[in-house]
Chains A and B, each alone.
Chain A
Amino acid sequence: MYSKELSSKKRDEFEDILEERRLSSDLRYAMKCYTPVIYKGLSPCKPNAIKSAVLQSEQVQYVIKQLAKEMGESPDVIQEEATEILDEMGHRMQLGAVRFFAFTLSKIFKQLFQRVCVNEEGMQRLQHAIQEHPVVLLPSHRSYVDFLMLSYLLYTYDLALPVIAAGIDFLGMKIVGELLRRAGAFFMRRSFGGNRLYWAVFAEYVKTMLRSGYAPIEFFIEGTRSRTAKTLTPKFGLLSIVMEPFFKREVFDTYFVPISISYERILEESLYAHELLGVPKPKESTSGLLKARRILSDNFGTIHIYVGQPVSLRTLASGRINRCPYNLVPRHLPQKPSEDIQEFVSDVAYKMELLQIENMVLSPWVLVAAVLLQNFPAMEFELLIEKTLWLKGLTQTFGGFIEWPDNLCAKKAVLSDLTLHSNIARLVNGHVVLNDKGVEDGPVGEIIFRHALAVLMCATYRNQLLNIFVRPALVAVALQMTHSFRKEEVYSCFSFLRDVFSDEFIFFPGISLKDFEEGCFLLTKCDAIQTSQQEICPTDKGSGTVSFLSAMFRPFVEGYQLIFRYLSKEMKEAFTEKQFIPGVRNFVFQLLEKGSTQCYEALSSDMQKNALSALVQLGAVKKKKMSNGFTYNVNQEAVSKILDMFDARILVWKPVAARL
């Protein structure tokens, strides 16, 4: 299933949809004749009809009867419960609400964004897909704007509006929650693994809409907004639900449409950075949203939305799912997916995320941020431009999708980006400095916090490059760590790093060698290395590239080491995640205070969680489910061993070796 075109592929052109909005009446736009094409097999029905179909379905009725028997309750009581769940969950899509959003969002988007660019060919492909088979929209998730924007876009292009799986927390926002419901949002509880009734009702609700082709179904495969702008590892629950009707052949096929939404400047950037540093996220509330109004006066640049090629589930599954696991059991019985199927779902999830990553538009600022972070805290403006241009070439070699605004010269583009992101960096006396807002003379702790904030915000943009760079970069890191040219050794180190970072970056499962080869190929392509049968040699010309790449990923290597060290030294007893995060944060904070590390990114709770979960996967930490959540137990010896793998090699990074 994993295949990647390594030569730069041709991508569609973009169109700015706000341009039209700036020229004509928003009111007329909101009241326009809206007659979307629909799925060929669809007999239109009301949202309430879906709910009652779900309630009456064999699937839900079966679980109700089972539960009634087990709990000695009357089925009516449980049926009542199911009705309540449905009422809490169900959308009530109404054209009126949609028009309201069309109007207000036009106003808001024009205020916030300079341009909203869309690949029109993608929209056309989507239009065909919607008519042919049930469609699942899989956008990347960086902001609340994502799903509003996507529905807005589909309305603009006269396409069927999706029903959207949203977190239940939105219902906390009084009016907004209900408005979203009317715009097609349905709400899922954050965790309902143990609740069989909830699971049955939810799954059947989604499947009923999918089977009938009622509307495209939209959800975020990452599960939540990525606070780091780095793609999160996929969640499988909803994906396996929407695949089931095909596995059971209740539909002929299902289309998955990966959609990449990239922001030149992310609305929530500062909020995210605070959150990552442990300043609690404000609960979703209507008043909170109103307070966010001051954001309206700010400029958030351009949004790029790339609607990918619809991917046929039937094609993905052909040759993969040979045996028919659902043939021997009635289809309405809840059935745990076989290992085959679970593996397939996971592969599809990763494939979709890789497709999202491939089509994610990168702005020049992303390059600037990556350069700046390596030249902390200030660098010469001219040098920045030179480096940025160099990085642009490298990014394109690696298959990155860069949109350079209006063919501006590099200097102008960087300047315009510095204006847009003046809260992160600014130009002072021909030097670009990180904007940590003049707290030079506060308490040390305050200075470090401010600094960390600026670094994490900047990292949010560099992060957008990482999944494009990770394969060649880990080869570069491995080259430096092993201090060897032997392919075998470099590969074994690469493979180790890939495992350690499996939750940090997106790797297609089980193809370590292919990833390694791809990394080597890309490094060869940019003349950074030469390879022979047994050896990999950095070229003289390429040492700069190799150093740059390993420096790019150094925060992760160092950060993980700090976190592992904390775990191996400080955590002797079982602990919960709630104990772990503040603990490791303090640990890193103290090291930063002492000046014994410069790795501010290790303060990020995202990295901390990923590192912990990596250890769980490597078997160095045991994760146990308790009544009140998960607890963790560290196997000191195993963690030390992993640390040794790093430490033995960290020496190699000292400047002497770096000159290699």
Chain B
Amino acid sequence: MVHDVNLAGSSNCCTRALEGSGSAVQELLKWNGWGYNDSKFIFNKKGQAEFTGKRYRLGGMVLPTFKEWIEKTFGASLEHKTTSRASLNVNDVPPSIVNEEFLQDLRATKISYSQDAEDRVFRAHGHCLHEIFVLREGMFKRIPDIVVWPVCHEDVVKIVELACKHNLCIIPFGGGTSVSSALECPEEEKRTIISLDTSQMNRILWIDEKNLTACVEAGIVGQDLEKQLAESGFCTGHEPDSMEFSSLGGWVATRASGMKKNIYGNIEDLVIHVKMVTPRGIVEKNCQVPRMSTGPDIHHFIMGSEGILGVVTEVTIKIRPVPEYQKYGSVVFPNFERGVACLREVAKILRALFALIRLFLSFAKGHALKPQVASIFTSFLDGLKKFYITKFKGFDPNILCVATLLFEGDREKVLQHEKQVYDIATKFGGLAAGEDNGQRGYMLTFVIAYLRDLGLDYYVIGESFETSVPWDRVLDLCRNVKERIVRECKEKGVQFAPLSTCRVTQTYDAGACVYFYFAFNYRGISDPIHVYEQIERAAREEILANGGSLSHHHGVGKLRKRWMKESISDVGLGMLRSVKEYVDPNNIFGNKNLL
């Protein structure tokens, strides 16, 4: 039983790997859903919703209005429950096929590896709806054959060399938070697939206080990076919503965006230098400078390359002193239109003076997650509603929308900017709605991702997707995409009205990033995932027809490949292809993303 021997061999390596924090994290995370094992929404014995665990501010709190909201919005009922299989069925997992010569070479490098089924399945997917659905109810057709854990740049060089020597396929794996099917293994891939897990390359190599830069290994996870930098009094300020789990290398490979980009910039603004290992060799620059004019910036081949060219190993990134003062805030607008108009104006006048401004279409969802204890807030909100209803007759409290704000910097400036924002907001019918509300919005950013797993238990499937769009088309795009979703649901036989809502999550000089949330109750539909995908595809078509982009920061992966030609033209696609052909002629990095 050759296979057994392999497993035995690997369990040895596993023990070594488990000593590292990366695999320890794997133990902490759900195998079939988002985030930490101990954090999730549940309905307690009284039938009230509750968020478990102590990791988040919402943890341990009872959410009295949540049940009603989920029932009303989706027509879901607590009686109709689906359950995920409790644990991975190892017998379903495709066998690991790795040739012995390669294993021998690999062992010689002393790099940890594993052929264990759970390790391989964990790295066979991201967090698209269909991927989670497969985990709960089925099995992937193709998964990595072996997982390797390099601990430094040199290890990666060795692995890539071996892969080239034996003609194997490498799929780099960072935090595993992809939502573009980027991590899925191509089914038709016949070669051994190596999942190259960067999680053990997680050290800050140096901090340069004079130039305010830090050189960091690419496998470090966002929250660890910020925590460790904070120890020296610094931060990067890069906070994507997935920052608890996603990695620096992943950010570079997908052109990530953080919620505080107004002050700190997106990943392309933060990166000073990148080192990447490719089948052709190592690509890097000769210096670490703020800007250089040496032809097209090779960083821009690397950023957004989604793992098709090589593995990012080390990144020099800008850092800033931890801000002296932080203040949350929020504004309520009578409707989405006024809110968008206000954000546009704020973006025009104040530009980079505030860290974050986000606009929710309606606070139905936020409201539903209102914890029992925050009674001051509750009465305030109710008061607000009354205010609007009495002051502006005909306004519907259900279409109110909320902007959440975050200011950072020195105290004086923060207070000054805060006042400026509120002054502008007043012009658009906005009313300051307190710090608490703003902080709640910030916290919700991280727990919202947990909602989907609860929905899945009650026949509700959903997803969010994003785009970027010029200011003048924001409202038209939002209206049309939402309408398209509702219509497609009807046409595809979805029996319950879907949730179809959106928010503005980033503002730029020339436009905004818009997020859509879409979920529906799939009771009565035999193939919900297929229906879901058709609708999401229609929604994307609609976005493109409305002048929106294919993606603002999620990337293309395999999920959105079909629109690449339309997005960047034939010639543009050819340019990328020729880079791929030069860098990786044998398609070692064969995850089939992007092109």
Contacts and interface: CB of A to CB of B under 8 A. Distances in A.
A426 interface: no
A144 interface: no
B473 interface: yes
Given A330-B472, A331-B472, A252 B547 contact: no
A330 B511 CA distance: 13
B480 A252 contact: yes
A249 B473 contact: yes
Nearest to A322: B566
Interface in A293-334: 322-324, 326-327, 330-331
B205 to A, nearest CB: 44
A613 to B, nearest CB: 36
A84 interface: no
Interface of B: 472-473, 476-477, 479-480, 483-484, 544-547, 566
Contacts of B566: 322-323
B590 to A, nearest CB: 30
10 contacts: A249-B476, A249-B546, A252-B480, A252-B484, A322-B566, A324-B544, A324-B545, A324-B547, A327-B547, A331-B472
B547 to A, nearest CB: 4
A326 B483 contact: no
Contacts, number: 22
A252 B544 CA distance: 14
Nearest to B542: A249
A250 interface: yes
A142 B471 CA distance: 46
Report the 7 A-B pairs with minimum CB-CB distance, sorted nearest first.
Answer: A327-B547, A249-B546, A252-B483, A252-B480, A249-B476, A324-B545, A249-B480
Given A324-B545, A324-B547, A252 B472 contact: no
A323 B546 CA distance: 11
Contacts of B546: 249
B472 A250 contact: no
Given A252-B483, A252-B484, A324-B547, 7 more contacts: A249-B476, A249-B480, A249-B545, A324-B545, A327-B547, A331-B472, A331-B473
B472 A249 contact: no
Nearest to A247: B545
B465 to A, nearest CB: 18
Nearest to B548: A327
B559 to A, nearest CB: 20
A322 B547 CA distance: 12
Nearest to A318: B541
B130 to A, nearest CB: 25
Q: Which of A249, A322, A330, A331 has the most CB of B within 10 A?
A: A249
B483 A249 contact: no
A250 B476 contact: yes
A14 to B, nearest CB: 32
A331 B470 CA distance: 11
A326 B476 contact: no
A249 B470 CA distance: 13
Nearest to A332: B472
A330 B547 CA distance: 10
Interface in A328-369: 330-331
A250 B547 CA distance: 11
A106 B477 CA distance: 46
A107 B2 CA distance: 99
B479 A252 contact: yes
Contacts of A252: 479-480, 483-484
A59 to B, nearest CB: 12
A331 B469 CA distance: 13
Nearest to A248: B476
Contacts of A326: 547
Contacts of A331: 472-473
Contacts of B480: 249, 252
A63 B543 CA distance: 29
A252 B478 CA distance: 11
A324 B566 CA distance: 10
A206 B566 CA distance: 32
A327 B545 CA distance: 8
Nearest to A133: B483
Q: Which of B545, B547, B566 has the most CB of A within 10 A?
A: B545
Nearest to A43: B394
Contacts of A322: 566
A38 to B, nearest CB: 16
Given A330-B472, A331-B472, A249 B477 contact: yes
B537 to A, nearest CB: 13
Contacts of B477: 249
Contacts of A250: 476
Interface in A245-296: 249-250, 252
B84 to A, nearest CB: 37
